[in-house]
Amino acid sequence: MPLALLSNAPASCGKAFAAQPWAKYFRHLVVSADHATAKPDAEMWRVLAERLGARTSDCRFLDDREDNVAGATAAGLVAHRWTGVTPARAWLVEQGVLRA
């Protein structure tokens, strides 16, 4: 399953993100400023799904902001609010993304 990072950070952060050691875990680093839209706008979810080559309904999304979770859900993604590692892991196992 491809993993993407979607950030509302300024466009200048894209290169900084790509230089980080953790960036290797992501197939796509998507900075909303590069697309003239941002979470939770519905256009941002379309851009993300297109980059992943997936339907929005096939995407799983974690975010700490409820407005972003609500926007993702409204756009057809399966979304969950980040409240910590343990609940996120349990949700990802439930979704079939991670093994128990």
| pTM as predicted | 0.91
For residue 100, being part of any structural domain is answered with no
28 part of a folded domain: yes
Q: Rounded to whole angstroms, how far apart are CA atoms 60 and 55?
A: 11
Q: Is residue 25 part of a domain?
A: yes
CATH code where residue 67 lies: 3.40.50.1000
- Domain-located, residue 99: no
Of the candidates 26, 46, 44, 27, the one whose C-alpha atom is nearest the C-alpha of residue 35 is 44
Q: What is the pLDDT of residues 67-93, one digit of tens each?
A: 999 999 999 999 999 999 999 999 999
Confidence of residue 1 (pLDDT cuts 50, 70, 90): confident
Which amino acid type is present at position 43?
E
The answer to whether position 78 is within a domain reads yes
15-39: average pLDDT: 95
* Average of per-residue pLDDT across 21-49: 95
What the block records as the tokens of 30 is 């998507």
Average pLDDT over the chain, rounded to whole?
A: 95
Per DSSP, 71 falls in state H
pLDDT at 2 (0 to 100): 86
Residue-range definition of the domain harbouring residue 56: 4-94
Report percent pLDDT > 70 for the chain.
Answer: 100
